[in-house]
Structure 1
Amino acid sequence: MQLHHLWLSEFRSYAEAEVELPGGLTAVLGQNGQGKSNLLEAVGYLATLRSFRGAPSEALVRVGADRAVVRGEVTTDGREHLVEAEIARTGRNRVLLDKQRLARQRDLLEAVRVTVFAPDDLELVKGGPALRRGFLDDLLVSLHPRHDAVRSDWERALKQRNALLKQIHGRPDESALVTLEVWDQKLAAAGDELARLRDGLAERLAPTIARAYRDVADDELDVGLRYTSAWRGPDGTGGLAAALLAARDDELRRGLTLVGPHRDDLELTLRGLPARTHASQGEQRSLALAMRLASHRALLETHGSPPVLLLDDVFSELDPNRSAALLRSLPEGQTLLSSAAGLPEGIAADLVLHVAAGGVSAG
């Protein structure tokens, strides 16, 4: 896919901005605090309807304005689309796809796809399991939007079961136990399927992440990736229904679901040791970037066209050798890259945008 035209109105630091984008590498340059990341954030919002920096919707609206608008013209798989997102400071947001109100967010994935690498991605390696589970789940939906139903079924069943466990905490009667068994069945069906999908995706990504790490770090290291579930056997067998039954007494006592995919992890290793605790920060940074590049390549393989790649301020987090290695290994397709330090020597961009004081200009 390719983003051809981007319009911003009252978004973050931009009162108004309009840019035309080529299909190759666009470098977004400027001093810190001028709005480079805001421009990439707007592109990411068109695809996901959320900030990749974790900001709430109201923070995306320029100070003093009631609402912001982000519009983009894209071509995906030979089809042209117009995506228009109106972000309200208060009240509901509005999204139009080809002038029609967006019925389901997953429909947007057919029109706009992005891969984002941002400085906070270091937490994919250093942080807790929830971030790595989210990485897998978001990629599953991007690869096949129908997987959103599996994730939704799991989250709904987990929420309802936890509410029931909290309600009957320590004093279950026969009626409550019958209802619990119903939710056990729903949770087990959704949980088994979600774990199966995550496990398969991790297995698919493992060699691609290892290769991407070699490209980015310019170093041959043993990179490992494995989806782990304490409630399944060592070989990935064993169903959630049996695990729930075994944990029932503890769960009734604590009023909480203690086993299932919400407790699983994506185990990352370097040289056979946990990357979270034994890798240097440079190695962790390279591994996080390799995870994003591997997801980008998986999307390319699945859809036949690469997403837009957004690289936000990557050079500030990589040494010169890793920066040069990254640019040499960029996958095909459209890339937007922000930098306060300019581009490494010998790297030419198809378009250079300069950002200063809430304005953007080509040159």
Structure 2
Amino acid sequence: MRLQRLWLADFRNYSHLELELPSGTSLFVGLNGEGKTNLLEAVYYLATMSSFRVNNADSMIRTGPDVAEAVVRGEMVVDQREVLLEAALRSTGRSQFQVNRQRVRRRELLGLIPVSVFMPDDLVLLKGGPGERRRFVDDALSQIDPRLDAARSNLESILRQRNALLRQSRGQIDSEIAVTLDVWDEKLADVGERLAEARRNLVANLEPKMAAAYQEIAVKSTSVNLSYESTWSPGELGEALGRVRQEDLRRGATTVGPHRDDVSVVLAGRPARTHASQGEQRSLALALRLAVHRELADATGQSPLLLLDDVFSELDPERSKGVLKALESEQTLLTTAGTLPPDISYNARFRVADGQIIRET
């Protein structure tokens, strides 16, 4: 599987772009702010119908008079056949998606093009709050099993409506509110259990892959543990919601459920978030991304498209060498604003400047 051609119209700082891409590694060189990350974001959006930077389409539409939508189109080779994907991002109304000129729903595209992205901001996976890690796991799940993307959307909808009811109650409960809460609790328990089980299974699969990847990147043998943390036991979310109902009424919010869960990373027996050095945290974040990359390959039977956004800028030579050795993909798009590790090789080099991309080699 690979991306042969990419077209952009009014996406970020690209008013118009046509790009032909080879197999192997394509290197994109340019100063910060010229559009390198925007390019990777466009490719990621084409594969997942979501951004790794923002949650709304407006931010990805180029600013300008009479610009109301952005278009991302890609010609892919999937299982030795050509597939044309297109996404139209709109500032008003829903974005639209097409496969071979036929309109499809977003969920019909999820999982078709597995993609992995590595970014300098990945430190947030270690240093950020639980929401960052939940989103990371859920994004991976959406590619492995697109049905779980629907479960996540359903969970968010149920939580919005349950929380609205809790706020409306103003801390008081009558028979009508109690009956309605029972309905929402049943729905939340059903969807929440399914999503949490999928998360637990994925985290369990990722743990040995992450431990192996960390040893490859850090070039040292240190124990790495990854675990899914929840305040309720599997199969008991309904009971847990009943136990905290009075507290939820008092707070006007749902205090237990998969939206409060976390993923714990432990290095050498100590929490990595508080005890690992920044260099160790960076290696752990890369190892976690690499674990997902390998899990996607195992789950889909395809080599995921690999997007590397200036990941070597913060790594010392030894760790850079470990990353290069560990990464494998049929096609890689790599950006840099500075010097690359000497061992890196590429099939094509492009210059990125002011929303224009020119092939140099």
The TM-score range, normalised by the shorter chain, is over 0.9
Contact 1:85 1:94 in 2 (8 A): yes
Q: Distance in 1 between matches of 2:70 and 2:158?
A: 35
Contact 1:74 1:111 in 2 (8 A): no
SS in 2 for 1:317: coil
- 1:1-363 equivalences under 5 Å are 1-54=1-54, 56-64=56-64, 66=67, 67-103=69-105, 105-232=106-233, 237=234, 239-362=236-359, 363=361
Paired letter, 1:310? L
Deviations 1:116-135 (A, max 9, x none): 11122110110000111111
Contact 2:34 2:355 in 1 (8 A): yes
Of stretches 46-55 and 189-198 in structure 1, the one that deviates more from structure 2 is 46-55
Kindly state the Cα deviation for residue 74 of structure 1 after the two structures are TM-superposed.
0.7
Kindly state the Cα deviation for residue 312 of structure 1 after the two structures are TM-superposed.
0.4
Kindly state the Cα deviation for residue 57 of structure 1 after the two structures are TM-superposed.
2.4
Gaps of 5+ in 2: none
Paired letter, 2:74? G
Kindly state the Cα deviation for residue 13 of structure 1 after the two structures are TM-superposed.
2.4
SS in 1 for 2:312: helix
Contact 2:117 2:308 in 1 (8 A): yes
CA distance change for structure 1 residues 295 and 262 in 2, over 3 Å: closer, same or farther? same
Of stretches 215-224 and 50-59 in structure 1, the one that deviates more from structure 2 is 50-59
Paired letter, 2:231? A
Kindly state the Cα deviation for residue 51 of structure 1 after the two structures are TM-superposed.
2.6
CA distance change for structure 1 residues 264 and 225 in 2, over 3 Å: closer, same or farther? same
Contact 1:315 1:341 in 2 (8 A): no
Q: TM-score, normalised by structure 1?
A: 0.93
Paired letter, 1:276? R
Deviations 1:58-92 (A, max 9, x none): 33233325033221001223332111222334554
Q: Distance in 2 between matches of 1:46 and 1:190?
A: 28
Deviations 1:198-246 (A, max 9, x none): 11111111000111111222222111100011122xxxx4511111111
CA distance change for structure 1 residues 107 and 349 in 2, over 3 Å: closer, same or farther? same
CA distance change for structure 1 residues 316 and 252 in 2, over 3 Å: closer, same or farther? same
SS in 1 for 2:86: strand
Gaps of 5+ in 1: none
Contact 2:49 2:110 in 1 (8 A): no
Q: Distance in 2 between matches of 1:359 and 1:84?
A: 21
Deviations 1:131-170 (A, max 9, x none): 1111111111210112223223322222222122112232
Kindly state the Cα deviation for residue 102 of structure 1 after the two structures are TM-superposed.
2.3
Contact 1:297 1:331 in 2 (8 A): no
CA distance change for structure 1 residues 185 and 87 in 2, over 3 Å: closer, same or farther? closer
* % same residue: 51
Deviations 1:263-288 (A, max 9, x none): 11000111111111111111111111
Of stretches 56-65 and 240-249 in structure 1, the one that deviates more from structure 2 is 56-65
Kindly state the Cα deviation for residue 56 of structure 1 after the two structures are TM-superposed.
4.0
Paired letter, 1:175? E
Q: Distance in 1 between matches of 2:63 and 2:144?
A: 36
Paired letter, 1:78? Q
Q: TM-score, normalised by structure 2?
A: 0.94
Of stretches 44-53 and 205-214 in structure 1, the one that deviates more from structure 2 is 44-53
Contact 2:224 2:265 in 1 (8 A): yes
Cα RMSD between the aligned structures? Answer: 1.7
Kindly state the Cα deviation for residue 110 of structure 1 after the two structures are TM-superposed.
4.1
Q: Distance in 1 between matches of 2:174 and 2:180?
A: 10
Contact 2:305 2:329 in 1 (8 A): no
Contact 1:85 1:96 in 2 (8 A): yes
CA distance change for structure 1 residues 351 and 194 in 2, over 3 Å: closer, same or farther? same
